[in-house]
Amino acid sequence: MQSTSSHALLKVFTANGIDRVFLVPGESYVGILDALIDFPEIDVVTCRHEGGAGFMGVADGRLTGRPGVAMVSRGPGATNASIAVHTAQQDAIPLILLIGQIPKRDLRREAFQEIDYQKMFGSIAKWVAEPTEPAQLAEVAFKAIRLATSGTPGPVVIVIPEDIQQQAAPVHEWRAPRQMAAMPSGEILDELQARLAEARRPLIIAGGRFDVPGGREALREFAERLHIPVALSFRRHDVFDNDHPLYVGDLGLANAKNQMDMFRQSDLILALGTRMGDITSQGYTFPALPVPEQTFVHCYPDDHIVGLHFTPDYPLVCDPVALVKQLTSATSGVPCAERSAWVKKLHDFAVLHAQWPDISAEDGIPFVTVVQAIQKHATANTTICVDAGTFAAPVYRHFPFKYPQRLMAPLSGAMGYGTPAAVATQLRNPDDKVICMVGDGGFLMTGSEMIAAVERKLPILFILSHNRSYASIRIHQEREYGGRHCGTTLFNPDFMAMAQAFGMESIRISSVDEVEPAIRNAMAATGPLFIEVMTSLECVL
Ligand SMILES: Cc1ncc(C[n+]2csc(CCOP(=O)(O)OP(=O)(O)O)c2C)c(N)n1
């Protein structure tokens, strides 16, 4: 094998477990593309749009805990990929976006397709590196991996001028060291232990940092041992089983006022592995800003995040999984009776709120019936990848996730995520039943990436909700602007013909009676399958 600077970069990638890259090629990084040929252990997934490649990287990073990698060309490629950098930042997912750059001699001359990426990505990436010497590529790759995965995971951008990609450079196999779980002192833990035992109405808010091997189990054991109810942070429905008696719902876009009133009655909040961001905290209103009324414990492995908005009585800058393991082992449990009424009240509300509705519509199929049919036929290894739109609301509200069932949903609310995420998920977990739910709006943004499902024979079930509208926005026009619609009605292509042209079997569901049998058959499909659902626009849940 040759030993060029690109080989040195890729060697650091493979030494750290990176085995797949998603890309759209560009003349600005042909040197790296050429080196990829010498790394058969890296699966190269060629995409149709840099947004699609980036979203695939985001999904892969979430599933593996390693940085997902997207490679794109300068200027136009990088601007297309920027949506994934934003999503990785909002979702706290490790991502490396590698961008080819103009030759270094012309840097900052505003040359053809040049961008100053430090300025462009400065506020959303954890680090933007633009090496100018071939020997720096390995070092930059190594640091990118460490930064993307440490503290609050997130996106790192590596920008590589085209003329430093093919020079001789030493190859290293540096491996990122495992992260050490710093722990609060024994004294603090003892004090916290006592507060937890005394609390009458404690509440856990659990977030994405439990989405690691062993994380869910540790959370469940802790909650059970101390008999503390668990609410989940925004779109992290799959970190705690939704049918568990301690499950009390998620904190999302549609919490009922009386549910929030109940949560506010808690006397101790344990915010574990969550950043307590905008949606989870209900627009920074729960708990009280800036000083919560309850005893507030905030645990996250990043000192920038702990106490960022809400002042904690216990600011714990550490790994929440290690913390709950420690707290679990240090207690013999708490008598359930003292907290039973509190837990029951919250749990009963969550159960009621999640009940499947019985609704019908004149103008099409209420999409909730499709989601309900999927739940009925879902296997233990079903993963639902959702795009942004009204069709996703029933998933968030009613689908009772039970691990290893998974929800792949962008915290950034980015349209266009669903299809590429499904491709990346099925590639990573070939035995899972991967379902992509997408609207007629989001599908025409990145739906072309579904060609990878045909190319690679991925048995993804694509479900398109066809309501001839950007309904999520139309709803605002209905509610807040007297039903005056502008820019939200869609003129659509023949989606069935489109899927067939992609080489995919396709089915249209036009009436409620067809939903259940069609979904039952679809769940057993062994190849990619496309279902078009003629969805009601008036009956949006
Ligand atoms: C990339 C991007 N552009 C715009 C938006 C704003 N937006 C949120 S949902 C939505 C409409 C989604 O329409 P569709 O995919 O058809 O699903 P529906 O809401 O109709 O179910 C829009 C435009 C967004 N979230 N992301």
pLDDT of residue 165: 98
Identify which of 478, 530, 482, 486 has the alpha carbon closest to the alpha carbon of residue 508.
530
> By the 8 A CB rule, do 43 and 206 touch?
no
Q: Which of 85, 415, 488, 492 to mutate to test the pocket of ligand 1 (most atoms within 8 A of CB)?
A: 415
Collapsing DSSP to helix, strand or coil, 507 comes out as strand
Type of residue numbered 223: A
pLDDT of residue 70: 99
80 Cβ below 6 A of ligand 1: no
pLDDT of residue 13: 98
Distance in Å, CA 439 to ligand 1 centroid: 8
Type of residue numbered 111: A
Mean pLDDT, each 10-residue run in order, the chain (541 residues): 92 98 98 98 98 98 98 98 98 98 96 96 98 97 97 98 96 90 91 94 98 97 96 98 98 96 98 98 98 98 96 97 95 78 97 95 96 97 98 97 97 97 98 98 98 98 98 94 95 98 98 98 97 93 55
Rounded to an integer, what distance in angstroms lies between the CA atom of residue 150 and that of residue 131?
Answer: 21
Buried b (16+ CB within 10 A) or exposed e, 508-538: bbeebeebbebbeebbeeeebbbbbbbbbbe
**Atom 11 of ligand 1, residue of closest alpha carbon:** 470
Collapsing DSSP to helix, strand or coil, 140 comes out as helix
Rounded to an integer, what distance in angstroms lies between the CA atom of residue 132 and that of residue 358?
Answer: 62
Distance in Å, CA 415 to ligand 1 centroid: 6
Distance in Å, CA 332 to ligand 1 centroid: 49
55 Cβ below 6 A of ligand 1: no
Q: How far is CA 523 from CA 365, 376, 433, 449, in A?
A: 19, 10, 8, 21
pLDDT of residue 331: 84
414 Cβ below 6 A of ligand 1: yes
**In ligand 1, which atom is closest to the CA atom of 392?**
21
Peptide bond into 245 cis (omega under 30): no
Identify which of 251, 208, 214, 209 has the alpha carbon closest to the alpha carbon of residue 229.
251
Q: Which of 419, 469, 472 to mutate to test the pocket of ligand 1 (most atoms within 8 A of CB)?
A: 472
pLDDT of residue 387: 98
**Atom 20 of ligand 1, residue of closest alpha carbon:** 471
390 Cβ below 6 A of ligand 1: yes
Buried b (16+ CB within 10 A) or exposed e, 95-122: bbbbbbbbeeeebeeeeebbbebeebbe
**In ligand 1, which atom is closest to the CA atom of 465?**
21
- Residue in the structure block whose two tokens are 């290893």: 404
Type of residue numbered 451: I
Rounded to an integer, what distance in angstroms lies between the CA atom of residue 508 and that of residue 529?
Answer: 11
Identify which of 406, 408, 407, 399 has the alpha carbon closest to the alpha carbon of residue 381.
406
**In ligand 1, which atom is closest to the CA atom of 442?**
15
**In ligand 1, which atom is closest to the CA atom of 470?**
13
pLDDT of residue 46: 98
Rounded to an integer, what distance in angstroms lies between the CA atom of residue 41 and that of residue 20?
Answer: 8
In this structure, the number of other CB atoms found within 10 A of the CB of residue 43 comes to: 12
pLDDT of residue 541: 55
> By the 8 A CB rule, do 70 and 467 touch?
no
Rounded to an integer, what distance in angstroms lies between the CA atom of residue 53 and that of residue 22?
Answer: 5
pLDDT in tens, 247-276: 999 999 999 999 999 999 999 999 999 999
Helix axes of 367-377 and 512-523: crossing angle, nearest 10 degrees: 30
471 Cβ below 6 A of ligand 1: yes
Identify which of 181, 149, 151, 192 has the alpha carbon closest to the alpha carbon of residue 315.
192
pLDDT of residue 309: 96
- Measured in Å, how far apart are the chain's first and last C-alpha atoms? 57
470 Cβ below 6 A of ligand 1: yes
29 Cβ below 6 A of ligand 1: no
Rounded to an integer, what distance in angstroms lies between the CA atom of residue 373 and that of residue 504?
Answer: 22
Taking phi first (over 0 means left), then psi (-120 to 50 degrees means alpha), and beta for anything else, what does residue 121 get?
alpha
The strand pairing partners of 155, in sequence order, are 95
